[in-house]
Amino acid sequence: MGTVEWVETVERLIRSTQELLWERGYVGTSPKAIQAAAEAGQGSMYHHFAGKAELARAAIERSGAELTEAAEQELAGPGTATERIVRYLRRDREVLRGCRMGRLTADPDVMADPALRAPVAEAFGRIRARLADIIAEGKRDGEFPAGLDPVATAAAVAAVLQGGYVLARAAGEDDPFELAVQGLVHLLEGVSA
Amino acid sequence: MGTVEWVETVERLIRSTQELLWERGYVGTSPKAIQAAAEAGQGSMYHHFAGKAELARAAIERSGAELTEAAEQELAGPGTATERIVRYLRRDREVLRGCRMGRLTADPDVMADPALRAPVAEAFGRIRARLADIIAEGKRDGEFPAGLDPVATAAAVAAVLQGGYVLARAAGEDDPFELAVQGLVHLLEGVSA
């Protein structure tokens, strides 16, 4: 097998594991299912990864990188702090599938393994820090009141997104997610100058 | 076996299933584990419940009733709308275990079965409706501005709680939950008269 095929196989293994973890959780993601979804043989999978745990870690790291990259697309754009945060909250999302990273926090196997939890913690840490920076910018520009705590407000923004997914999945429809985002946006606009 | 023993056995079966669903999810909750935790025999379990799905439904309904009852304890108390909501958000919670109901929304088996998802949807629906009533009261009393949408604000409050659990579990500490609640409370106080 040439280098290109190797890279492509590793790529398919990681992508398939990302999807399976999202859909079925760690315990429901068998090496056989990964191999079938990736169209890779057992030997090929174990040639590239020591086992399911190592592959899961690579998949979770990839999901974390994609999550922060997608957030950055909205947050780095033009506009006031509120506009950028609203754009981030309102970008198209597959609401009923939930957040790839957020759902892992309910997965007992992922939470019990420090190596699997670390990339989840890092991804949310990065997004909260980025949101806090933007809110601090908004304070400096006089957009937000001096008393607003950037770190706490950033945590509320990230929590509304993650909780919005939970409420939407419970209801079986997008509506509660949209409502929660709308409620937070109105509060943010309400305290803005 | 007398009636008292029967009632006690059913009670232990339901309580054990609630705990196991919370800790291990539906797929990780075996009839054997339920029987062991409940100190009930296999015959006893199947005498009272047709199977794991029926017992899980009873356990989820019980968790839903307990969730709304606990919310009502804070929400029905004295004080302004903001005070009651803040008390609800800040009541003691086992943050790192997450919400019994919220975590079920990440459980593919629970979400895939309409009979198991229904009590989850109902519990969150009741809490959101109750929060919306209190916010509408606060508007009538002049505590909140006329433009505040009670239904959307209620969804944001419920989402911050659920998302706070997600962020805390990701981080492995209570801190992000406390921050998210604090951030939302400051926004609510910021728009209040």
| pLDDT tens digits for range B134-163 | 999 999 999 999 999 999 999 999 999 999
For residue A191, the chain B residues in CB contact (below 8 A) are 187, 190-191
Cβ-count burial B56-85 (b if 16+ within 10 Å, e if not): bbbbbbbbbeebbeebeebbeeeeebbebb
Contacts 24+ apart (CB under 8 A), B31-38: B38/B9, B38/B12, B38/B13
Cβ–Cβ contact A192 with B under 8 A: no
pLDDT score of B119 more than 80: yes
Cβ of A151 and B179 within 8 Å?
yes
For residue B96, what is the nearest residue in chain A, using CA coordinates? A105
At A174 the pLDDT is 95
At A193 the pLDDT is 63
Cβ of B158 and A161 within 8 Å?
no
- How many Å lie between the alpha carbon of B114 and the closest alpha carbon of chain A? 10
Those residues with Cβ within 8 angstroms of residue B186's Cβ, 6 or more apart along the chain or in another chain: A147, A148, A149, A152, A153
Nearest by CB to B108, from A23, A158, A165: name it.
A23
For residue A24, the chain B residues in CB contact (below 8 A) are 108
For residue A187, the chain B residues in CB contact (below 8 A) are 153, 156, 184, 187-188, 190-191
Cβ of A187 and B184 within 8 Å?
yes
**Residues B143, B144, B150, B152, CA torsion sign:** negative
CA distance B112 to B187: 36
The residue assigned the tokens 């909140």 is B144
At B33 the pLDDT is 96
Residues of the domain holding A182: 3-191
At A2 the pLDDT is 76
Q: Tokens at residue A65, please?
A: 């990188």
**What tens digit of pLDDT does each residue of B8-21 get?**
999 999 999 999 99
At A185 the pLDDT is 95
Question: What is the mean pLDDT, run by run of 10 residues, along chain A of 193 residues?
Answer: 83 96 91 95 93 96 95 94 93 87 92 96 97 96 94 98 96 96 95 80
At B37 the pLDDT is 96
Total tally of structural domains belonging to chain B: 1
**What tens digit of pLDDT does each residue of B65-86 get?**
999 999 999 999 999 999 999 9
- pLDDT grade, residue B1 (50/70/90)? low
Q: Tokens at residue B98, please?
A: 């997450």
B171, A138 contact by CB (below 8 A):
no
Cβ–Cβ contact A180 with B under 8 A: yes
Nearest by CB to B102, from A121, A166, A183: name it.
A166
Q: Tokens at residue A174, please?
A: 């997008």
CATH number of the domain enclosing A69 = 1.10.357.10
The DSSP element (H or E) to which B186 belongs, if any, is: helix B175-191
- ipTM over the 0.90 cut-off: yes
A176, A168 contact by CB (below 8 A):
yes
pLDDT score of B98 more than 90: no
Selection from B193, B189, B15, B20 nearest residue B89 by Cα: B189
Those residues with Cβ within 8 angstroms of residue B54's Cβ, 6 or more apart along the chain or in another chain: none
pLDDT score of B101 more than 70: yes
At B193 the pLDDT is 63
Cβ–Cβ contact A85 with B under 8 A: no
Q: Tokens at residue A73, please?
A: 């697309």
Phi, psi of B17, rounded to the nearest 5 degrees: -65, -40
For residue A162, what is the nearest residue in chain B, using CA coordinates? B163
